[in-house]
Amino acid sequence: MTASSQDVLGRIDGEKESYLDELKDYLRIPSISTDPTHDDDVSRCADWLVGKMRAAGLDAERIETEGHPLVFGQWNGAPGKPTVLFYGHYDVQPPDPLDQWRNPPFEPTVEGDLLVARGATDDKGQSFAHLKGVAAVLAERGSLPVNVKFIVEGEEESGGEAIEAFVRADAGRRLACDAVVVSDSSMYAPGQPSLIYGLKGLAYMELRVHGPNRDLHSGTFGGAVANPANALAQILAQLQDKKTGKILIDGFYDKVRPLEDWERKEFAALPFDEAEYKAELGVEELWGEEGYSPVERAWARPTCDVNGLWSGYQGAGAKTIIPGSAGAKVSMRLVPDQEPQEIAELFRRHVERITPPGVRVEVISHHGGSPVVVDAQGPIVDAALAAAEDVWGKRPVRVREGGSIPIVATFAQVLEVPVLLLGFGLSDDRLHSPNEKFNISHFYNGIRTVARLLDRMGELT
């Protein structure tokens, strides 16, 4: 490791506790962007973050949008040096099912090396590591070796329309930079840093099947009228082949870029313990699209998952009704070069084509994001890989990821600079699940990696 960061790394070691306490404060704010009843919390969270950026010495502000506010911060005191843009999001997923949490989701709890709370890893913990890494250098030296910018959004879990619009409208003026750093993902394995070069896109749909104008007695009317819940099951069953796992929507695979040989080789070479993976998930077997390994399916093949279902009577015991309606949330994860709007339209047409007689179906398109494969070459990327190796002691592996970070595709397309997907989380962080956690040691290493990244990039001529 070059000597140049020892001062900062020493300070980071000295301030660990206060960094953790600040992160806990951040996690106590229930900034659930998908739930309108939490709008005030989301707004409060944005203000909290602006305060932290200013305290760190950044010029920070809250940018109002049609949705939740963006938080923008910058330090431009290194003329002639590269500029790094750090992206993150301060909103979180809903915490339900609440009864499965060991502790309240918004009361961060330390369990050994784990910090347990909604948003711990996705993305408050990882994004806050960016800020503390920059803050540590500024506090130690009063200046940075490069220019930095932060853009932190509050709608990543609910569509990200605001930042999408902002980046396109800004067209690289305020957001002008030489590289974007995104930490909203996992490392391939504990101790194994990873540079993610591919992300899936997303098309999130909702189906509402309408039958009779009320719940009906299933004895008096059963057999005479179509049942919306039966009809919904028929529709959902015709989205995916039950044997091959292929998605049956016409044209769905037309623009799917096949896995390249080098990718299949590199993925196959990565350590993957299927028995351990199944045990951790509590399933007896893995299942998915025929002809691909679990890693290939999760990272580089499109999927179609029912995320929610509801109809009729869900209580204890029995209620003999034909429900008046039934609904489902269905999301498709996309790979290059599928486009969310086009897939949403193919989905709509498919559903209209297979809707059974006697019911009416509403197809609602919630939001989407484009899949992306980024270029992971060049001196800036090398600096990032070196910085990660400095801290973690291992060269990052190149992997893809099944998650969707819609804005990454937009950054790559609009800013035309390298997008560095350096995740500090782990695959068992239970993001979107009860008892979400972030390893505290990874939080600190994330801070160190950012500090090293600034020095490594400052050395670039």
Interaction residues for its own copies, span 319-358 (CB under 8 A): 319-323, 326-329, 331, 333, 356-358
- Binders of its own copies among 363-382, rule CB under 8 A? 366-367
For residues 303-341, one letter each, b for 16 or more C-beta atoms within 10 angstroms of the residue's C-beta and e for the rest, the string is bbeeeebebbeeeeeeeebbbbbbbbbbbbbbbbebbbe
| Smaller CB separation from its own copies, 434 or 458 | 434
Distances (CA, A) of 125 to 86, 100, 424: 14, 22, 9
Query: Rounded distance, CA 340 to CA 204, Å?
Result: 9
**Which residues lie across from 199 on neighbouring strands?**
372, 401
| Smaller CB separation from its own copies, 122 or 455 | 122
Q: How far is the CB of 316 from its own copies (least distance, A)?
A: 6
Task: Compose the 208-247 pattern: x for residues touching its own copies by CB under 8 A, - for all others.
Answer: ---xxxxxxxxxxxxxxxxx-xx-xxx-xxxxx-x-----
Q: How far is the CB of 220 from its own copies (least distance, A)?
A: 5
123 forms part of the interface with its own copies (CB under 8 A): no
- Binders of its own copies among 393-412, rule CB under 8 A? 401-404
- Binders of its own copies among 55-74, rule CB under 8 A? none
204 forms part of the interface with its own copies (CB under 8 A): yes
- Binders of its own copies among 9-48, rule CB under 8 A? 34-36
| Smaller CB separation from its own copies, 31 or 83 | 31
Q: How far is the CB of 67 from its own copies (least distance, A)?
A: 12
Q: How far is the CB of 303 from its own copies (least distance, A)?
A: 4
115 forms part of the interface with its own copies (CB under 8 A): no
Q: How far is the CB of 408 from its own copies (least distance, A)?
A: 13
Q: How far is the CB of 341 from its own copies (least distance, A)?
A: 16
315: tokens are 């209580």
Out of 79, 80, 271, 315, name the contact with its own copies by CB under 8 A: 315
Please calculate the CA angle 246-251-253 and round it to the nearest 5 degrees: 50
Q: 362, 208 in Cβ contact below 8 A?
A: yes
326: tokens are 């039934």
| Smaller CB separation from its own copies, 74 or 194 | 194
72: tokens are 């923008």
> For the sheet containing 114-116, what is the strand order?
109-111, 114-116, 437-439
Pairing mode, strands 216-217 and 321-322: antiparallel
Query: Rounded distance, CA 421 to CA 317, Å?
Result: 49
| Smaller CB separation from its own copies, 294 or 458 | 294
Out of 66, 173, 282, 461, name the contact with its own copies by CB under 8 A: 282
Dihedral of CA atoms 329, 330, 334, 339 in degrees, nearest 10, equals -70
Interface stretch with its own copies, choices 7-15, 62-70, 73-81, 312-320 (CB under 8 A): 312-320
Q: For 112, left (φ over 0), alpha (ψ -120 to 50), or beta?
A: left
| Smaller CB separation from its own copies, 24 or 246 | 246
